[in-house]
Amino acid sequence: MVRKLNIKEPDLSVKIGKVIMKNPVMTASGTFGYGKEYSGFFDIDEIGAVVVKGINMAGSDGNKPPRIVEVTAGLVNSIGLQGPGVKKFIDEYMPFFDKYDVPVIVNIWGKDIDEYVQVASCLMKIPRVSALELNVSCPNVKSGGAAFGTDEKNLSKLIAKVRKVTDITLIVKLAPNVSRIADFARICESEGADAVSLINSYPAMVIDVDRRRPVLANKIGGLSGPAIHPIAVKLVWEAASAVKIPVIGIGGISSVKDALEFIIAGATAVAVGTANFTDPLISLSIIAGIKDYLIRHNMPSIKSLIGSLST
């Protein structure tokens, strides 16, 4: 007979590189703005980490509209990495976090390796930046992004170059549309990345059948939301089975069950994305649900659940 423990407050804390998070629930880049946008709904110190929208060197207006469309069980977006640029982000957006303790992870991107390196060099000097997430997998830009996430040699070169200029925690956000996700995760680990996050949105298209034209001005976009969740779980499991560094599970989380699937599959943390648009409090519900699950299953720590899948 298993002795029932009296667990009132299980340990939800996890560690990603040097970043210690009070719980494993993060926000996915591009779905939580720069933190301030959601701070009116709840205390953002309650979540594990905030991952801000992608930052490049000079800033970007993104793609022409229309650039987002709802589909069955998800969204297809082609925002195009709109953002203020690194200097404006540091001067106008980062001061907001001075009154919070939540780790701030900055998603970064560039048109080439040099731009990634420049952005990383600027951000590593900012004390409130806890980690960088290299966006190598956005399907909505014409240069950079997926050119690294789907090419093993380019990915290897990029991580090595960025690793040389920064010693803060480095996360690489991987693309789903590759032949073997495990190979890309291993490259990240071997070149010095502290963690991988996956998946980014899946390349997709929506057609206006009356006009017989693509709905999005950019023609293609990225599918996100519940529709991609089972794909993401499979890829997270494969990546977590291939590397020793932490894996962050992303893709279609809209309930605590979805988050638990990722963790059981091997994810150390999860990032909530599209669901933030329909329920700004979804992250808090998931944190509470994970805590309840650990209590019900007699687990004193989230670490007992990570990678506990029985196959």
Q: Which residue has the tokens 């034209």?
A: 213
Omega before 295 cis (within 30°)?
Answer: no
Q: Which two tokens stand for residue 287?
A: 């944190």
Of the candidates 311, 304, 270, the residue with the CA atom closest to the CA atom of residue 287 = 270
Q: Are 251 and 257 in contact (CB under 8 A)?
A: no
Of the candidates 40, 114, 110, 38, the residue with the CA atom closest to the CA atom of residue 273 = 38
Using CA atoms, how far apart are residues 191 and 299, in angstroms rounded to an integer?
35
How many CA atoms are closer than 13 Å to the CA of 239, on its beta-carbon side? 34
Using CA atoms, how far apart are residues 115 and 111, in angstroms rounded to an integer?
6
Q: Which two tokens stand for residue 35?
A: 């933190």
Using CA atoms, how far apart are residues 163 and 40, in angstroms rounded to an integer?
36
Using CA atoms, how far apart are residues 116 and 104, in angstroms rounded to an integer?
18
Using CA atoms, how far apart are residues 34 and 265, in angstroms rounded to an integer?
29
Indicate which residue of 94, 108, 138, 259 is catalytic.
138
Coil, strand or helix at 274: coil
- Please give the C-alpha separations between residue 264 and each of 65, 109, 252, 260, 309, in angstroms, as whole numbers: 39, 30, 16, 6, 5
The alpha carbon of residue 219 and the mean position of all alpha carbons in its chain are separated, in whole angstroms, by 24
Q: What is the end-to-end Cα distance of the chain in Å, rounded?
A: 24
User: Residue 261: in which H helix or E strand, if any?
Assistant: helix 256-265
Active site (annotated) includes residue 138 = yes
Coil, strand or helix at 28: coil
The residues annotated as belonging to the active site are 138
